[in-house]
Amino acid sequence: MTRKEERTENAVKKGYESFANSFNCAQSTLAGLMHEFLPDDPCTDALLCAAFPLAGGGCRNDTCGGLNGGLVFMGRLYHKDETKTPFSMDPSARAVRGFGAATELADRFEEKMGSTQCGHIHSGIMGKEYDLADPKSVAKFYMDGAKDDCQAVVETGIRLVCDLIMDDEGNVIGL
């Protein structure tokens, strides 16, 4: 197994563990990636809390939490603190890398899952769309197997991010 494959598997494993321990899809995707690539980051707890409402597309079946968690991670990884430098129309190479990778992530996620929209993905995985703003529909969603079916979303988000951020040797690109 290559170092890149090893790091990817570690992130997927941590994402699954997080999902099994009641994190939602956005938090689990983010947790797996943070654990592997930024294990000592002081922002981790705050980011995981902030990612909570990103599951289920903000409970509106909008952008999938597996994609949202990956985008939050990429934001943290490639973030350039613009508050300490004047605004510039010439963004850093790191910021350019981050925006390009984020766009590529969304494109690849849509290709792999058939959509970036949570509701459409549910239709494909579970055979129907659920109203995630309705507590009764959410209960049915979980009774119908969302806990198992949505692990595919977490794994997809993690694997796609890992593929985009690492070179063949498992080093993070663009830092």
Query: What is the model's pLDDT at position 17?
Result: 95
Residue found by looking up tokens 């943290």 in the block: 76
Q: Is the pLDDT of residue 61 over 90?
A: no
CA angle 68–33–148, rounded 5-degree value: 70
- What are the structure tokens assigned to 88, written together? 């510039």
Query: What is the model's pLDDT at position 82?
Result: 60
Provide mean pLDDT across the span 105-125. 92
pTM for the full predicted model: 0.89
Query: What is the model's pLDDT at position 146?
Result: 82
Query: What is the model's pLDDT at position 97?
Result: 67
Model confidence pLDDT, tens digit, residues 6-26: 999 999 999 999 998 889 999
Calculate Rg over the CA atoms of the chain: 16
d(CA 80, CA 100): 14
Query: What is the model's pLDDT at position 8?
Result: 98
Query: What is the model's pLDDT at position 101?
Result: 87
Q: Is the pLDDT of residue 89 over 70?
A: no
Name the band, by pLDDT with cuts 50, 70 and 90, for residue 83: low
